Amino acid sequence: MRKVAIANGSRSRLSNYISAIERVGALASELPRKISDSDALNALSGYDALVLTGGGDVDPRLYGEENAFSSDVDPVRDDTEIALLRAAKKSDLPTLGICRGIQLANVAFGGTLWQDLEKNGFQNHFLPEKKLVQTHFVSSVSGGILPDIFGESVSVNSIHHQAVKTLAKGLSATLISSDGVVEGIEDKTKRFFIFVQFHPELLLDTDERFLQLFRRLVDP
């Protein structure tokens, strides 16, 4: 049985992520909250994939900005997840980052974030009361695994107030919302190094393609 590591800095319930992994026939286990750079490769050994989950905002100092509208910043979680991501990239471990996960990945590899979408002229993308509802479309803008799974477009939920601003080198934006927010990025040189702004784990019964994303993670 494939084993999937879930980075766990959130201290919140990971049950939806765990169920999604179990739905595709894999075993999920939570990593320790604090892992150093030098321990990250070791922490991931024995796993077939890595999942980064939703949560608070990435520390804006990590991309050279003062805090403006960023909340629930957690430096231990940032450091741990950046170490895990770099180790996963180095070892070409299939990785799926969700919500905060796309933001963290972009920052880990040198990109920047919009600290608040609405304050910067985008629509409101923070709709927690509609977390199980598909509230806006995202469209495929180039080839990649995400366009391969989702086709021309897909309707997604939206529970975020930040998003990718300047894209990190080595990552490609493959899904974009109708108001221009980057909602899916990937490293096309890797087997499966995929990050999405929406929450596929909450829409598994709504559209088969969200489950497909987890299937490809465990069987790239």
Query: What is the chain's alpha carbon radius of gyration, rounded to the nearest angstrom?
Result: 16
Nearer to Mn ion, 27 or 133 (CB): 133
DSSP class of residue 66? -
Asked if residue 157 binds Mn ion (CB under 5 A), the reply is no
Residue ranges in 44-63 that form contacts with Mn ion under rule CB under 5 A: none
Cβ 219 to Mn ion shortest distance, Å: 27
The whole-angstrom separation of Cα 214 and Cα 160 is 21
Instruction: Tell me the helices (H) and strands (E) count for the chain, helix number first.
Output: 6, 11
Cβ 175 to Mn ion shortest distance, Å: 10
Task: Report the DSSP pairing between strands 95-98 and 49-52.
Answer: parallel
Q: Of 112, 115, 158, 162, which lies in the binding site for Mn ion, with binding defined by CB under 5 A?
A: 158
Helix, strand, or coil (residue 118): helix
Q: Of 77, 89, 100, 125, which lies in the binding site for Mn ion, with binding defined by CB under 5 A?
A: 125
Element containing residue 214 per DSSP (H, E): helix 208-218
Residues taking part in catalysis: 99, 199, 201
Asked if residue 199 binds Mn ion (CB under 5 A), the reply is no
Asked if residue 174 binds Mn ion (CB under 5 A), the reply is no
The residues of the shown chain that bind Mn ion, judged by CB under 5 A, are: 125, 158
